[in-house]
Every structure is written in structure tokens, then in C-alpha cells.
Amino acid sequence: MYEGGDTIVLFQELAYEDVLPVAWHRLPEPVDPVVVGSYADRNLRVLQAVDALDELPPAEKPDENAPHSADLHRLETKVNLLIEMVGQLLAASRPRPAPVAVRFNALGGVWQGVSPYPDPGEQGIFEVHLRDSVAEPLRLVGRIAAVGPDGRVKARFLPPGEHVADLIEKLAFRRHRRQVAGTRIPRR
């Protein structure tokens, strides 16, 4: 899916790209607005959790002469280890779809589908598990725009709400910034 440039774009907007568990679930028409609203609330919490987990430590070294500096560093290391272990337990206890190449933003998504492929025009829910340590997937309601002969699925999403769209944009920007910088933060 990566076409060689530094910037990953989808529908003329910066997009997040990775290999993650993705699923598409067909929805009956019309979509219940209450269901869409409940997804917006959950998506906000999911993206806030991912944002908190992705926070980078300060760039400068902590003052080793500061009181409790070593204690705080050990505590942070233990909390990170605990988060990773809980994520592994969650992933093992809740089956997830197989990871596939995916690119998405608040406008839509492209991923390698699994047979049987959805039909163009079909309405449904795009689910992507962003982190092992976050139990809930990001759920975006949309419509299949196209399915390629290679099984590549392209969907357009309904507007997810301003706050959710902003957090998706922030997620994509952080990923882009890390790729440009040539660093990679381990996923949790």
C-alpha cells in the first residue's frame, strides 16, 4: 500500500498506515443514529487511550541528581511492562482478525480484504484494533467504495464527529512524524 513517498495519503488527507487486525461488518440500512452515536463515544475513549499510550518520554534526560528520579524511572518501566502484559492477555483472550495492511483516516480506509469480500455500495462498520493493550477497536461506519481484483477494499466513512476526526488526524500525524524521523515506537 505504501507507494514510496514520505507522506501516506488517502482521499487527499494524511492517513495512518500499519499492519493491524481489521474487520468489516455489514450493517442493515438505514443505520440507527443511536448506534452511530454510541460508536462516537467509544471511539473517543479508544483514541484517547491510544494517545496516552503513545506519549513520548521527554527528549532530554531527567536530572539524575533530582530526588526520586531513579524511583520514577523504575516505576514507569514497571507500568509499561504491566500495560504490555495486560495487552498480551487481552489479545489472547479475545480473538481478533488477522493483521492486514491498512491505511485509514477520518474520511475512509483501504485494507487487504479477506474472502468473501464485501460488495461495492455495502454499508457496514470498519473495525481496526490499534493496540493490543486497548480492548476496544476503533469502529467507523461507512460504505464500500470499491473492491479490487486483488481483494483490496476501499471504504468511505460517515463523518465520525469533530473530536474523533481530530484524534485520528493526530494519530496519523504522529505516525508520519516518526516515519520521517526514522524512529519507531514499539506498539503496546
- Name, in order, each residue with C-beta under 8 angstroms of 120's C-beta and a sequence gap of 6 or more: 144, 145, 146, 147
Average pLDDT over residues 66-82: 75
- Residue 19 structural domain: 9-55+68-181
53 neighbors 83 (Cβ within 8 angstroms): yes
pLDDT at 140 over 60: yes
Domain-embedded: residue 63: no
144 neighbors 187 (Cβ within 8 angstroms): no
Q: What's the pLDDT band for 78 if we cut at 50, 70, 90? A: confident
Number of domains in the chain: 1
Q: State the CATH number of the domain containing residue 96.
A: 2.40.10.220
Q: What's the pLDDT band for 1 if we cut at 50, 70, 90? A: very low
In 3D, which of 114, 103, 97, 100 has the Cα closest to residue 176?
103
For position 59, what pLDDT does the model report? 46
52 neighbors 134 (Cβ within 8 angstroms): no
CA atoms within 13 A on the CB side of 1: 24
For position 151, what pLDDT does the model report? 94
3-state secondary structure of 169: helix
Domain-embedded: residue 38: yes
Average pLDDT over residues 104-114: 95
Residue type, position 39, single letter: Y
